[in-house]
């Protein structure tokens, strides 16, 4: 990382990173209300800084057209995924970002392997793709609700107790394949407490403008809270790798979630350190010829190059 800002960001997000090979007990190891000593009044300024960094590095990423970035967001209902995407990506060029949400698989999707529908939404080079829920649903929801596994039409001899260990291995290998081909994978789990989820559900009921976001099915899913916590812990333990790490972001404070998510994504882009392409000497000579032609077209009394006239540093670079 060439930018010194990257060192400060790396220090900030270090407590959130799941060390590869470690055994995670979610309730014990990560506090949903952790806020790194920050106060809410500091949040807006920090988020603006993070968004500014993202905009800067996303522009370089698109211009270089060599790397792509996949950001996976996982959380329970009301965890804040939508709001995180909306705020963190507010300053980037929408042409370079694609968001995919994965709901119940269709009949066509069930006729393919379980990673097929996710592979179809991977980023192009120069692009950031965000999975609002991701391929990790296949070891979370499908595990908590085994009836979903039956719908996947797997051969009988592949549905044994080893299936989850096998899927962890397959996902790790798939993500390694992606990173080896220039597509960085970064994964964020929004760690919400049960009480905060209850509060947010009640808010969706109490406020008419939030009613549309509420589903009784979400409340029924709370009955499986303990099972999900176990599934999350095993997923984090088995699939946080050096090439595709997991970050557990405390989600009880929305303002802190957004700062963390911006910092994690900025860290990923700064680690890539994309550069604007060098057009080469021949192309540069051609640009200078065109520049002189345009300068000759300047109206009387107008500077030959208004931009260079306002930015002396740019004038020096072109000499």
Q: What is the pLDDT of residue 1?
A: 46
Q: Which residues lie across from 188 on neighbouring strands?
A: 73, 247
Q: Outline where the chain has alpha helix (H).
A: 5-13, 26-29, 40-64, 81-88, 107-110, 116-119, 141-144, 147-150, 163-180, 194-206, 216-221, 225-239, 254-272, 281-296, 306-310, 312-317
Look-up: residue for tokens 């329970």? 76
pLDDT band of 314, cuts 50, 70, 90: low
pLDDT band of 316, cuts 50, 70, 90: low
| 309 Cα distance to chain centroid | 40
pLDDT digits (tens, 9 = 90+) for 3-49: 577 788 989 999 999 999 999 999 999 999 999 999 999 888 999 99
The alpha carbons of the chain give a radius of gyration, in whole angstroms, of: 23
Highest-pLDDT range among 36-50, 112-126, 265-279 = 112-126
Q: What is the pLDDT of residue 148?
A: 94
Q: What is the pLDDT of residue 4?
A: 73
**CA distance linking residue 240 with residue 41, whole number of Å:** 32
Q: Which residues lie across from 184 on neighbouring strands?
A: 69
For every residue of 159-203, DSSP letters joined together read: -STTHHHHHHHHHHHHHHHHHHTTEEEEEEEEE--HHHHHHHHHH
Q: Which residues lie across from 248 on neighbouring strands?
A: 189
This prediction's pTM: 0.91
pLDDT digits (tens, 9 = 90+) for 181-216: 999 999 999 999 999 999 999 999 999 999 999 988
Which residue would you say has higher pLDDT here, 215 or 164?
164
Residue 318 has pLDDT above 80, yes or no: no
Give the mean model confidence (pLDDT) for residues 207-232. 94
**CA distance linking residue 61 with residue 29, whole number of Å:** 34
Q: What is the pLDDT of residue 249?
A: 98
Residue 68 has pLDDT above 70, yes or no: yes
| Helix (H) / strand (E) containing 73 | strand 68-75
């Amino acid at each position: 990382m060439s930018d010194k800002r990257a060192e400060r960001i790396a220090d900030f997000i270090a407590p959130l990173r799941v060390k590869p090979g470690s055994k995670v007990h979610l309730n014990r190891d990560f506090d949903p209300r952790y806020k790194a000593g920050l106060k809410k009044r500091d949040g807006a300024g920090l988020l603006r800084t993070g968004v500014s960094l993202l905009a800067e590095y996303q522009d370089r990423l698109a211009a270089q057209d060599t790397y792509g970035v996949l950001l996976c967001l996982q959380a329970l209902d009301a965890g804040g995924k939508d709001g995180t995407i909306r705020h963190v990506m507010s300053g980037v060029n929408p042409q370079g970002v694609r968001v995919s949400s994965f709901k119940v698989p269709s009949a066509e999707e069930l006729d393919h392997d379980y990673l097929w529908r996710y592979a179809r939404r991977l980023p192009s080079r120069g692009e950031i793709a965000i999975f609002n829920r991701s391929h990790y649903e296949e070891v979370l929801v499908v595990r908590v609700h085994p009836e979903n596994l039956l719908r996947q039409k797997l051969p009988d001899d592949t549905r044994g107790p080893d299936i989850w260990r096998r899927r962890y291995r397959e996902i790790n290998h798939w993500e390694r394949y992606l990173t080896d081909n220039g597509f960085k994978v970064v994964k964020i789990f929004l760690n919400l407490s049960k009480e905060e989820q209850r509060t947010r559900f009640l808010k969706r009921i109490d406020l008419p403008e939030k009613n549309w976001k509420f589903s009784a099915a979400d409340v029924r899913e709370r009955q499986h809270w303990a099972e999900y916590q176990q599934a999350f812990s095993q997923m984090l333990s088995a699939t946080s790798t050096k090439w595709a790490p997991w970050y557990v972001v405390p989600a009880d404070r929305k303002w802190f979630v957004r700062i963390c998510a911006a910092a994690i994504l900025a860290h990923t882009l700064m680690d890539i350190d994309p550069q604007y392409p060098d057009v080469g000497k021949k192309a540069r000579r051609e640009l200078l010829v065109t520049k002189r032609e345009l300068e000759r077209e300047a109206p009387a009394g107008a500077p030959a190059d208004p931009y260079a006239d306002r930015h002396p540093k740019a004038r020096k670079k072109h000499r």
